[in-house]
Amino acid sequence: MPELPSATAAPAHATEPSDATVAMLRRFPVKSMLGERLPELVIDERGTAGDRLWAVTYGDGKLGSGKNSRRFRRTEGLLHFSASYTANATATAASSGATATSGAARGDGTGRPHVVTPDGSDLRDDAHLAELLGADVRLAREDAVSHFDECGVTLIGTASLHALGRILGDTEQADARRFRKNILLNTVEPWIEEDWVGREVAVGDEVRLRVTKRMKRCVMTTMSQRDLPEDRRVLKTLTADRGMCIGVGADVLTPGTVRLGDTVRPV
Buried residues in 32-47 as b, exposed as e (16+ CB within 10 A): bbbbbbbeebbbeebb
pLDDT confidence of residue 7: 37
Q: What is the pLDDT of residues 103-157, one digit of tens each?
A: 444 555 668 999 999 999 999 999 999 999 999 999 999 998 889 888 999 999 9
179 Cβ neighbours under 8 A, 6+ residues apart: 156, 217, 221, 246, 247
What sign results for the dihedral spanned by CA atoms 13, 17, 18, 24? positive
Strand partners, 73: 64
- Using only the alpha carbons of the chain, give its radius of gyration: 18
State the chain's mean pLDDT as an integer.
Answer: 87
| Nearest of 176, 57, 24, 36 to residue 109 by alpha carbon | 36
Q: What is the pLDDT of residues 71-102, one digit of tens each?
A: 999 999 999 999 999 644 434 333 333 333 33
Between β-strands 200-203 and 207-216, what pairing exists: parallel, antiparallel or unpaired?
antiparallel
Task: Report residue 38's pLDDT band, with 50, 70 and 90 as the boundaries.
Answer: very high
For residue 209, count other CB atoms closer than 10 A to its CB. Answer: 28
For residue 149, count other CB atoms closer than 10 A to its CB. Answer: 17
Helices (H), 106-212: 126-133, 158-168
Point out the least confidently predicted range of 27-36, 47-56, 99-108, 213-222: 99-108
Asked if residues 83 and 54 have their Cβ atoms less than 8 Å apart, the reply is yes
Cα separation, 50 vs 33, in Å, equals: 13
**Check: CATH 3.40.50.300 for 20-28+149-266?**
no
Separation of CA 202 from chain center: 20
Q: What is the pLDDT of residues 188-205, one digit of tens each?
A: 999 999 999 999 999 999
pLDDT confidence of residue 88: 46
C-alpha separations of 264 from 75, 128, 159, 182, 240 in Å: 36, 42, 14, 14, 29
Domain parsing of the chain, residue ranges: 20-28+149-266, 52-141
Cα separation, 114 vs 170, in Å, equals: 35
DSSP helix, strand, coil percent of the chain (3-state; round to 5):
20, 30, 50
